[in-house]
Amino acid sequence: MDSMTIIAVASIVTAGLTIAMGSIGPALGEGRAVATALSSLAQQPDAAATITRTLFVGLAMIESIAIYCFVVSMILIFANPFWNHVIAGAAQAAGK
Amino acid sequence: MRLSPDQMIFWQHGFLKLNGTIVFTWGLMLALAVGSKLITRKLSTGMKRSRWQNLLEIVVTGIERQIEDVGLRHPENYIGFLGTLFLFVALAALCTVIPGFEPPTGSLSTTAALALSVFVAVPLFGIEEQGLWSYLKSYAEPTVIMLPFNIISELSRTLALAVRLFGNMMSGVMIIGILLTITPFLFPIVMTVLGLLTGMVQAYIFSILAAVYIAAAAHTHKPKPEPAPET
């Protein structure tokens, strides 16, 4: 396998693995957060505004971990510097 | 596949590029400024008011109440900055229903700029409330050993603000783009609705986080306690 193939395979596989494994943790964390928020809402319904706001802020912070993984995955697929470098090298070699 | 509105070039002259981000950002600014100017031309304080003034009043009092809930004592000092953040990001998300519009917050440059303005605003408001020495001392709390960690946490939460908003907006646009090539017509509409929802939530999150950071820097009193339940 030449280096172009290796780079392509590594990028594709890593992109898939990144987003797959990176969404497990945040999903579990968000589930636990919402479950705890629901039980505290049941215990104290008049604090609903504070609980809901805090829940949303917490969910956004947990979600950002998944977003980081998604951004890395997108970079690997669409804006991959190694792939661009190798493609530029191949185009130059073909043009010579 | 277009990753951000940076790559939509409308006009180019040498190295000066008028790309989609700039055009849509200025379009949003014009819409917000001109719209507000038109609505506030004849404000009425009585019971009869135009529906647009009513809408603006709902928005402004809603934001004021949220800022107060977070713990900032005089929301009128902060509502200019925080309200603008919320309205800009929310309008950018809402306008995705207009065909041909790409939210400028889907470009890392816009979200980085917004996060940097929060990064600059937090010390400014903190020094305004507490004074320079007292604010600088707060970095060494609870002990001096925490000084580098406090500084690093300031930088990392700025980065997190930028990447969170960028990631959410870009993923919404990209999902719709990919789905349009696979199953056009019905499913992309559902995903657009989801994109609207996450856009509004992210606008709220951005401004609430900025408010929380400013409240932490200004060290104002604890937020108002919840009213006691009726026994």
Q: Give the burial string for B81-119 (b: 16+ CB within 10 Å, else e).
A: bbbbbbbbbbbbbbbbeeeebbbbbbbbbbbbebbeebb
* H/E stretch holding B16: strand B16-19
Q: Residue A10 is part of which domain span?
A: 3-90
Alpha helices by DSSP H, listed for B40-107, are 51-70, 75-94
In this predicted structure, the answer to whether residue B224 has a pLDDT above a threshold of 60 is no
Using the Cβ of A70 and the Cβ atoms of chain B, whether some distance falls under 8 Å is answered with yes
Q: Establish if B223 belongs to a structural domain.
A: no
Q: Does residue A50 fall inside a structural domain?
A: yes
* Distance between start and end Cα atoms, chain A: 23
Span B36-59, average pLDDT = 85
Mean pLDDT of chain B: 85
pLDDT confidence tier of residue B225, bands split at 50, 70 and 90: low
Is residue B91 assigned to a domain? Answer: yes
The parent domain of residue B166 ranges over: 5-41+48-218
CATH number at residue A39: 1.20.20.10
Of B209, B227, B229, the CB nearest to A57: B209
Among the listed residues B225, B204, B207, B226, the one whose alpha carbon sits nearest the alpha carbon of residue B215: B207
Determine, yes or no, domain membership for B231: no
Q: Where are the alpha helices (DSSP H) in chain A?
A: 3-22, 24-43, 48-78, 81-95
Higher pLDDT, B43 or B151: B151
Q: Are the Cβ atoms of B167 and A57 closer than 8 angstroms?
A: no
How much is the pTM? Answer: 0.84
Check residues A71 and B46 and name the one with the higher pLDDT: A71
Burial of A41 from C-beta contacts in 10 A (0-12 / 13-18 / 19+): middle
B204 in contact with A, Cβ within 8 Å: yes
Within-domain flag for A95: no
Q: Within a domain: residue B226?
A: no
CB within 8 Å: A64 and B160: yes
Kindly provide the b/e burial profile for residues B200-218, where b requires at least 16 CB atoms within 10 angstroms of the residue's own CB: ebbbbbbbbbbbebbbebb
Residue B87 reports pLDDT greater than 50 = yes
Q: Domain for residue A33, yes or no?
A: yes
Examine the pLDDT at A33 and tell me if it is beyond 90.
Answer: yes
| Separation of alpha carbons B177 and B173, rounded Å | 6
In the predicted model, what is the mean pLDDT of residues B147-160? 89
Residue A9 forms part of a structural domain: yes
Q: Is residue B106 part of a domain?
A: yes
For residue A61, the chain B residues in CB contact (below 8 A) are 160
How many independent structural domains does chain B possess?
A: 1
Domain total for chain A? 1
- Using the Cβ of B229 and the Cβ atoms of chain A, whether some distance falls under 8 Å is answered with yes
Average pLDDT over residues A20-38: 95
Among B69, B167, B209, the residue with its CB nearest the CB of A67 is B167
Could you read off the pLDDT of B42-53 as tens digits, one per residue?
777 777 888 888
